[in-house]
Structure 1
Amino acid sequence: MTKKTGAFLILIAALILLILNVSHLDFSDIKKGPVTGIVSNILLILAMIINIRDMNRKV
């Protein structure tokens, strides 16, 4: 498995976890929901996008 494949797998996993966290979010009481999980997944997705773009530029 190459670095690029690993980055894509992490990106897909982060997207799936983000969807799960948003589905468990309670909009009537935001403090009870997984807000930190959503923020961390968004940061992970952004990091993987930047990482993949950087790998494409080096090739």
Structure 2
Amino acid sequence: MKLIHGEDSGIHIFPATSVSTAVEIGPVWMPKADLPLHLYVENKKNGSFQTTCTIGEHSYV
């Protein structure tokens, strides 16, 4: 992904991610090598998603 989108990109994860995918992301994601993870939650009041947290980009994980 870094080769195509560059170092300033990120991996965006929405609530539609399956449980098996969410469980697998933890052990395989490497904070020093992989792009930051942007996690979203659905905001039903305005019908959109908003970022809840970013892991890896200026964070201490």
TM over 0.5, shorter chain? no
Q: Report which structure shows greater RCO (CA 8 Å, sep ≥6).
A: 1
Flag the structure with larger Rg: 1
Report which of the two has the higher share of helix.
1
